[in-house]
Amino acid sequence: MAVGGKTRNMFEGLVKEGSFKWLLGKKSYFDEELEEMEHSPSAGRNFIRELSPVANLVVRRCSKILKTSSIDLQESFNQEASDSIKHPSRYARHLLEYCCFKALFLTTQMTGHLFDKTFRRLTFDMMLAWEVPAADSQPLTSKVDEEVSVGLEAFCRIAPSIPIIADVIISENLFEALSSSTDGRLQFPIYDKYLSGLERFEIIP
């Protein structure tokens, strides 16, 4: 499907400016993914104007897992969610959660999902997107060595959706333990190391 002029201009502007400098202060792996998204024939079906760039990329990954498009996921959300859930002040975050939880439900049924670093990175990026879900979200600022990080609320919202990682009872204490050396913000290397340590607890047939 051809990409509309407005959407293409948005993509081109983000790529030219180094789209995620607002997020990391430097070129990141998000930029490469955004460029791929821009040049994809299905780009017009994978951009949701209400979402921030990072939320759009996370939803796009979810759509690939679910074998659909971002726009189709949005249409399903609009049909299924109540008016209060779709209130403009909460729309972006609830739409993001809807897409994330559907993708996580599917992927966590697969044995050995924690062995997949792509999956581990996706779950962290879901938390990252949760903090800045809307197109008008304020840029993230990193407090520790310019390493992008996530906060308690985002962790407690996403992590319990992956039962082997955490549950709603222990998630806050777990976050505090994992972020104790990084000023209360969780960085991916620490999160990834924790998940790698959980791999041996997965049941392998």
Mean pLDDT confidence for 143-155: 76
Q: What residue segments make up the domains of the chain, in order of their start?
A: 5-201
Percent of the chain with pLDDT over 70: 72
The predicted-structure confidence for 65-103, as pLDDT tens digits, reads as follows 999 999 999 999 999 999 999 999 999 999 999 999 999
* Nearest Cα to Cα of residue 155 among 130, 189, 119, 133: 130
E strand spans, the chain: 149-150, 186-187
pLDDT of residue 22: 44
pLDDT of residue 178: 96
The predicted-structure confidence for 26-40, as pLDDT tens digits, reads as follows 555 666 676 776 666
Q: Who wins on pLDDT, 62 or 31? A: 62
* φ and ψ of 186, to 5 deg: -90, 125
Average pLDDT of the chain, as a whole number: 81
| Model confidence band, residue 110 (pLDDT cutoffs 50, 70, 90) | confident
* Nearest Cα to Cα of residue 28 among 42, 10, 15: 15
- How would you classify residue 184: left for phi > 0, otherwise alpha for psi between -120 and 50, otherwise beta? left
pLDDT of residue 122: 95
Distance CA 47, CA 49 (A): 6
The predicted-structure confidence for 172-181, as pLDDT tens digits, reads as follows 999 999 999 9
